[in-house]
Structure 1
Amino acid sequence: MPLSARARRATGRAVLGDVAKRAGVSTATVSRVYNEPEKVSAEVQERVRQAARELNWIPNAAGRALASKRTHIAGAVIPTLDDQVFASQVAGLQTVFAEAGITLFLGVSNYDPEQALAQVRAMLTRGVEAIAIVGEAHRPELFDALRQYRVPYVVTYAYRPDSPHPCVGFDNRKAFFDLTSHLVELGHCNFGVVMPPASDNDRVQARLLGIRQALERHGLAVRPDNVREGAPSIAFGRESLRSIWQQSSARPTAIVCGNDLLAIGVLLEAHALGIDVPRQLSVTGFDDIAFAKEIRPALTTMRVDTELIGRLAAQRLVDTLNGSGGAERGMTGHEVKAALTLRESAARAPSPVRHGKA
C-alpha cells in the first residue's frame, strides 16, 4: 500500500500526495505553491488550492517551515486589550500580516516590563520571524534577545527622531506640547494633569515632558497638588477631579488628561459636582475614541490613527523579511501625525472674579 494511503488511513486526513493527485501535479509543485508561490503559475496555484479546499487539507506548519526555512509567524506585544487604541493597532497588524501569509501571535504585558520580556522570549523560542512591541520602555534584555536571535522588530505607538529603535508611531512629547499650547493660547494659566502611571511608560513620560515644556515657555507650571497618576480609566478620572477640587489650594481652569477615558471621567464628575464645562473648567483628552464626540460636552482631544500605525508597522516588518525593508536604506522609523480635534469641552479661560470696594 502506498505511504500516502497508509498515512491517510491512519489519521483519517488527506495528505500532500492526495492534493497533488487531485490537482494533477507533482508533490513538489504542491510544496512550491505554499512555500515559493512566485515560481508557480497563477493557474496551477488555483488548481492546487482548490484541490486542498476540497480535501480539507492544510499545509503542515512545521513541514512548511523546514521547506522554506521560514515559520511565517510574527508576534506583537501590547500593554492591554482593554484599550481601543491597542485593539485597533492589532487589527492593522493582522490585516497586513494576513495578506502576506503570516500568522500573528499576540501577547499582553499588563504594563509590566517583566511580563513583556517573558512574552518576547516565549515568542522567540517558538520561531517568530518578526515582532512589534509597544513603546521603548522595556528591559535591556528584551532588545538584547531580539538582536541575539536576529529578529527584526518595530516599536509602535511612539516616535522620536533620535530613538535607537525603528519606530512607527507619533511623537508623544510634541502632541502634548501642542495640546497644552492650545490651552495657553485660550488664556489658561492654572492647570491640572490626570495621567496613567509614568513608571515604565515612555509614552506617559514624554507626554508629561511636553506639558511641562509648553508651560515653561510661558513661565507657567503645574502645581503638584493638581497632578494625579493612576489607572487609565473613567473611574480614576472621576476620582482625580473630585480629589483636586476638594484638596487643591488653587483650582485649575484646565485639566489635561492622558487619554479619553480619563477625560470622560473628569467630565462626568464635573457634572456631578456642578462644575460648568467649559465655562468654569476646560478638559482635554487623547486618542479620540468613538465616545469622545458623543459625550456632552463633546471632548476636545487629539486623534491618532492607531489602525494605520499597525498597518505601517506590519508592512515594515514584511518588507524587511522579504529583503526590501527600510532598515537597509537607513530608515529608522515612520511618524504618524497626531491631530488636534476641537470640540466643546475646551474654551477660553474664565475671567478672574473682580470684587468691588464696599
Structure 2
Amino acid sequence: MSEYQSQILIVDDNPTNIDLLRRFLDDDKYKIAAVTRGEVALKLVEKSPPDLILLDVMMPGMDGYEVCRQLKENMQFEHIPVIFVTAKTAAEDIKFGFQLGAADYIGKPAQREEVLSRVDNQLKLFHQQMMERELRQKSLKMAELGEMVAGIVHEVNNPLGNLKTAISFSQHNVDEIQQQWQAQTLTQNEFAQFIDQQKEALESCQVSIDLASSLIQSFKQVAVGQCSNQKSKISLYHFLEQVILSMRAKLKKYPHVIENKVPWEIELDSYDGALSQVVINLINNSLLHGFEGIDQGCIEISAETFDDHIKLIYRDDGVGISESLLVKIFADFYTTKQNQGGSGLGMGIIKSLVEVDLQGQLEFTSQQGRGVQATITLPLTLK
C-alpha cells in the first residue's frame, strides 16, 4: 500500500454509478468516500476536504452545477479539482461546467481507462499546485525573516555600540579615580562626581541591554511563530507590539506612524506565525503602495470581540486603490511594483492565510484617495 492515499469524494444520486466508480478505482491507491446528495457532499467537504471530487450533474435537490459553484466560491475549497461524471455532454453543458470551475469531464457510461486516466491527471496537477503554494509561502516567509534578520542586526548594533561606549567611559573613570586614590589627591567632591557618573553609565548600560533584549525577543517570537505550525495563546495587543518592534529597522526609514489601538485584554488561541505574516504583509503593502507620495501616513490597528470571534481592523490613510485594481489584488503574482520590491504574493497570501490557515474571513475595501481597510474576522479559538 502506498504511503499516502489520495482522498476522492464521489457524489451521485445513483448507488449503481457509485459502485461502478469504486470498482474502477484502486482501493490501495485511493481513499474513497461517497454520498448521494449535493447538500451532504458540501457538509462532508467542510469536515474532511478531499483531494478530488467526482460529481454527477443531474441530482434531485441541489444539482452538481450548484455544488461546484458553491465550492469554487469558497477559498478554502476552490482548489479542489472537480470532475463532472455525467451524461450531459453537449457542447453548451461542457462549456457551462468549465465556466463554473470544473477541471474535467467524464461522460456516462463511464469507462474504466478514461476514469483512471483523468483522475490520475487531475490528482497530479492538484498535488503539484499544493506543493507550489507551499513553496510560495515558504519563500515569502524566508524573505520576510531574512529582512527581519538584517534589520535586527542593524538595530542591535546601536544599543551594543552605546553599551560599549558606556563601559569604556566607566572604565576610564575607574582608572582615574584609582590613580587619585593611590596618590591621596582624591577630594570628596571628585568622588561624589565619580559616583554620579557611574550611576549614569550604569543606567545607560541598562537601557541599551533592555533595548537589545527586546529587539532579539521580538524577532525570536515572530520568527519561531512563522517557522512552526503550532497554535498558541496570543495576547493580541502585545503580539502586535512584538511584530511592530520586529519591523523597527524598516519602519525607521519612513515617517509614517503605526497606532496599536487593540484592547489589551483580547486573547485568542490561533497560529501566531500565520497571523504575523498577515500583519507584516499588510504593513508592507501600506509602506510600498499605500503611502506612495505621502509625507506622513498613519496605520491604525484596532479590534473588537463578538460572540466567539474577533474582528481585527487594519486601516491606513494612504492613496487607496482604484476600483479597477481592487478586483485584481488577490490574484497570484499581481503587482503594480514588479521591479520595485513587489512580489505579487502579498495580498493573495494574506487572503489564503486568513481564510484557510486561520479559518477566518477577509473583507478588503478601499477608495482612491481615502486609504484602505482590511477587516479580518477570526475565531477566538481555532478548531
TM range (shorter): under 0.3
Q: TM-score with structure 1 length normalisation?
A: 0.25
Larger fraction in strand? 2
